[in-house]
Amino acid sequence: MKALLFTLLGCALLSTAAQASSDQAWSDHNTQMSQRCIAASGLKDAKAVGKPAEFDDRVGYSALLLEGRYPQKHMNNRKGSELCLFNKQDKTAFVTEWTPGTP
């Protein structure tokens, strides 16, 4: 009985470890998220700022802050920010204008 208990406990521990993402998987995720968010952005010369915010898998999204310049002539090449939500499952990116520090 003890042997069976230790075997089951060992299998449970190994299955939990197997579900953890590798450093390469996180790197691939971050690269893909950055590329998709920048492609969805309306900013000129958009780039990711800081580290992504990773939400729980039950939520299914990561968030990434982007900075760039407004391309519209009337905006006079002003700096702008956008917040990108990246759907982890279907790999789609959604952006909205973001003004940090403004309620």
Q: What is the mean pLDDT of residues 85-97?
A: 97
Write down the pLDDT at residue 21.
Answer: 80
Is pLDDT at 20 greater than 70 in this prediction?
A: no
Residue 19 pLDDT level (bands cut at 50, 70, 90): low
3-state secondary structure 22-76: CHHHHHHHHHHHHHHHHHHCCCEEEEEEEEEEECCCCCCEEEEEEEEECCCHHHC
pLDDT (tens digit per residue) in 31-89? 999 999 999 999 999 999 999 999 999 999 999 999 999 999 999 999 999 999 999 99
d(CA 22, CA 24) in angstroms, rounded, equals 5
* Domain chopping of the chain, boundaries: 29-103
Q: Cβ of 61: how many Cβ atoms within 10 Å?
A: 17
d(CA 38, CA 36) in angstroms, rounded, equals 6
Is pLDDT at 13 greater than 50 in this prediction?
A: no
SS3 87: strand
**Cα 98–chain centre separation:** 16
Q: What is the mean pLDDT of residues 25-29?
A: 93
Write down the pLDDT at residue 1.
Answer: 45
Is pLDDT at 28 greater than 80 in this prediction?
A: yes
The helix (H) or strand (E) run that includes residue 8 is helix 2-19
Largest CA distance in the chain: 76
Write down the pLDDT at residue 22.
Answer: 92
